[in-house]
């Protein structure tokens, strides 16, 4: 390590301590304009202002350049934080002075899209929406979707094992990746770019990098599975008297003869009241006074047939739960308006800046009891503590955002986590459904994970990144 000469360049007030010599060597690899510092970086920090804390962004264009940068950083002992779209919600991408942000934004090529194989070979910096649009030209889709589609990258989604609205039927990112390439801490390249579903040739090591949040290597390329896209979609919103009724409706929709269920998003009353009011949304025949609303999307051959199917579903659910309301979107515009009510979560953060948010998953049979219990226990802490609850109900993933400005002071923060996380493991759920651990949830992992799992995680980390240069301070509890 060269500890004598340090660059002192400010970016948002940050001071760096990265050896000058290393900067020169990296510049020779990626070119001067792709080593961005100070005002020249001019990058949106995304979901966390500390993402750019390092004050230094390196943007390689190829796997070979990533490998060369990693070799140099390894030699100088400088840590690297990989970043994609910076939409991560658990502080996995935050960086600090003395580290280097490795941005994948120039590795943004779809290298191959094969309609017969139904596969896409992509570089890690490809934005989800770009892939969705390219696949749609072949009547295909990546089978995974989330509200951050316009910024989230395939590399970031692989690294967080992203879930989203279609996970209940298509699985999470782990189930969409056929092949993967990653650069390790020492600059060596792990390459398994198979384009087939079946590959039983030894340990399937790509899974180490999926969900590792950049702590084991830099994902550079991947092969993704694509699915046929339905010719038509339709969307409906139901207001339901209970969670049991919402789960009943999901079961009916899964059993539909005409359409295939593509999304089942739940919006508890305080959440939909807030987003509807923010967007000035109202419908004369749809009162927002039911405990929970369910946004359903069906895919199939014809839009009119799907809308008729929704009317049939409405009739069926009314028979079982008479206090149900429903509205079917009659046009693409109405469909988009309904989706905004679910996807525009910014509305909550405008009302409560940096509001504490949680991302749990709960087995479907336990959701009703879980939500009742946490609502009641939170008001035991403070009668005014009322969370916004929404999420991917069909797979049991709930997002819970408090009606408080964050971060919460202690001991309130711990008391809230004790309520939200206490019974989760016993119920068969998880404190982190799809957002990961990052830097925000390490203490929760340390408190709840199986001891043997924690030891194995440490051994894997030591084996792949002995000097702890890959995204240090993330995911793993301190040794």
Q: Is beta strand 260-268 parallel, antiparallel or unpaired with respect to 80-83?
A: unpaired
Tokens encoding 351? 């009302």
| Residue 156 interacts with ligand FAD (CB under 6 A): yes or no | yes
Quote the CA–CA distance of 419 and 415 in Å, as a whole number.
Answer: 6
| Residue 395 interacts with ligand FAD (CB under 6 A): yes or no | no
Residue with tokens 């799809």: 434
Quote the CA–CA distance of 9 and 376 in Å, as a whole number.
Answer: 50
Q: Residues 6 or more apart from 117 whose CB is under 8 A from it? A: 195
Please say which residue, 87 or 444, places its beta carbon nearer to ligand FAD: 87
Q: Whose CA is closest to 182, among 224, 210, 144, 142?
A: 210
| Residue 81 interacts with ligand FAD (CB under 6 A): yes or no | yes
| Residue 148 interacts with ligand FAD (CB under 6 A): yes or no | yes
Residue 144 Cβ, how far from ligand FAD at the closest point, in Å?
Answer: 9
Give the angle subtended at the CA of 348 by the CAs of 443 and 237, to the nearest 5°. Answer: 110
Stretch 439-458 residues interacting with ligand FAD (CB under 6 A): none
Please say which residue, 52 or 378, places its beta carbon nearer to ligand FAD: 52
Q: Is beta strand 292-300 parallel, antiparallel or unpaired with respect to 227-228?
A: unpaired
Of residues 108, 130, 357, 471, which one binds ligand FAD by CB under 6 A?
A: 471
Phi, psi of 332 (to 5 degrees): -60, -35
Do 214 and 204 contact (CB within 8 A), yes or no? no
| Residue 86 interacts with ligand FAD (CB under 6 A): yes or no | yes
| Residue 206 interacts with ligand FAD (CB under 6 A): yes or no | no
Of residues 213, 265, 309, 417, which one binds ligand FAD by CB under 6 A?
A: 213
Of residues 30, 54, 104, 317, which one binds ligand FAD by CB under 6 A?
A: 104
| Residue 93 interacts with ligand FAD (CB under 6 A): yes or no | yes
Q: Is beta strand 232-240 parallel, antiparallel or unpaired with respect to 325-328?
A: antiparallel
Per DSSP, 375 falls in state H
Q: Whose CA is closest to 146, among 125, 123, 122, 170?
A: 170
Residue nearest to ligand FAD (CB): 156
Q: Which stretch binds ligand FAD (CB under 6 A): 19-27, 197-205, 211-219, 273-281?
A: 211-219
Of residues 113, 218, 288, 329, which one binds ligand FAD by CB under 6 A?
A: 218
| Residue 83 interacts with ligand FAD (CB under 6 A): yes or no | yes
Do 234 and 321 contact (CB within 8 A), yes or no? no
| Residue 152 interacts with ligand FAD (CB under 6 A): yes or no | yes
Please say which residue, 213 or 417, places its beta carbon nearer to ligand FAD: 213
| Residue 59 interacts with ligand FAD (CB under 6 A): yes or no | no
| Residue 159 interacts with ligand FAD (CB under 6 A): yes or no | yes
Residue 30 Cβ, how far from ligand FAD at the closest point, in Å?
Answer: 16
Question: First CA to last CA across the chain, in angstroms?
Answer: 23
Q: String of b and e for 275-314 (b: at least 16 CB within 10 Å)?
A: bbebeebeeeebebebebbbbbbbbbeebeebbebbeebb
| Residue 108 interacts with ligand FAD (CB under 6 A): yes or no | no
Residue 8 Cβ, how far from ligand FAD at the closest point, in Å?
Answer: 25
| Residue 184 interacts with ligand FAD (CB under 6 A): yes or no | no
Stretch 308-367 residues interacting with ligand FAD (CB under 6 A): 345
Tokens encoding 79? 């840590």
Residues that bind ligand FAD (CB under 6 A): 47, 81-89, 92-93, 104, 124, 146-148, 151-153, 155-157, 159-160, 162-164, 213-214, 218-219, 345, 434-435, 438, 471, 474
């Amino acid at each position: 390590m060269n500890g004598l000469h340090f660059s002192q360049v400010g970016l948002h007030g940050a001071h760096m301590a990265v050896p000058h010599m290393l900067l020169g060597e990296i510049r020779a690899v990626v070119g001067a304009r792709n080593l961005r510092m100070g005002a020249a970086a001019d990058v949106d920090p995304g979901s966390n202002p500390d993402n750019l804390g390092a004050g230094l962004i390196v943007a390689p264009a190829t796997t070979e350049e990533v490998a060369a940068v990693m070799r140099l950083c390894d030699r100088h002992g400088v840590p690297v934080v990989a970043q994609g779209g910076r939409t991560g919600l658990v502080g996995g991408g935050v960086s600090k002075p003395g580290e280097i942000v490795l941005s994948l934004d120039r590795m943004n090529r779809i290298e191959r899209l094969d309609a017969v194989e139904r596969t896409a070979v992509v570089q890690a910096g490809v934005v989800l929406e770009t892939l969705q649009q390219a696949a749609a030209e072949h009547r295909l889709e990546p089978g995974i979707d989330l509200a951050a589609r316009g910024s989230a990258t395939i590399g970031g989604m692989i690294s967080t094992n992203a879930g989203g609205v279609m996970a209940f039927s298509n699985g999470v990112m782990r189930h969409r990746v056929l092949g993967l390439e990653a650069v390790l801490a020492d600059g060596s390249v792990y390459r398994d770019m198979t384009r087939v579903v079946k590959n039983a040739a030894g340990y399937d090591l790509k899974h180490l990098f999926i969900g590792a949040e950049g702590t084991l290597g830099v994902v550079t390329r991947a092969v993704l599975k694509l699915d046929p896209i339905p010719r038509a979609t339709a969307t409906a919103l139901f207001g339901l008297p209970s969670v049991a009724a919402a789960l009943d409706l999901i079961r009916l929709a899964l059993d539909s003869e005409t359409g295939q269920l593509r999304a089942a998003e739940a919006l508890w009353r305080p959440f939909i009241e807030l987003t509807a009011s923010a967007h000035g949304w109202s419908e004369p025949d749809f009162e927002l006074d039911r405990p929970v609303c369910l946004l359903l999307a069906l895919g199939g051959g014809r839009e009119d047939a799907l809308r008729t199917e929704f009317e049939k579903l409405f009739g069926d659910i009314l028979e079982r739960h008479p206090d149900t309301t429903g509205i079917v979107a009659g046009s693409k515009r109405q469909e988009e308006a309904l989706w905004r009510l679910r996807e525009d979560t910014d509305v909550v953060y405008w009302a409560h800046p940096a509001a504490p948010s949680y991302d749990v998953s709960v087995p479907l049979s336990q959701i009703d009891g879980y939500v009742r219990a946490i609502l009641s226990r939170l008001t035991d802490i403070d009668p005014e503590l009322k969370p916004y609850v929404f999420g991917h109900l069909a797979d049991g993933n709930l997002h819970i955002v408090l009606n408080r400005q964050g971060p919460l002071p202690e001991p309130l923060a711990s008391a809230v986590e004790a309520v939200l996380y206490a019974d989760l493991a016993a119920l068969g759920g998880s404190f982190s459904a799809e957002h990961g651990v990052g830097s925000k949830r390490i203490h929760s992992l340390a408190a709840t994970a199986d001891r043997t799992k924690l030891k194995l995680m440490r051994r894997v980390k030591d084996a792949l990144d002995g000097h702890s240069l890959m995204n240090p301070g993330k995911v793993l509890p301190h040794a």
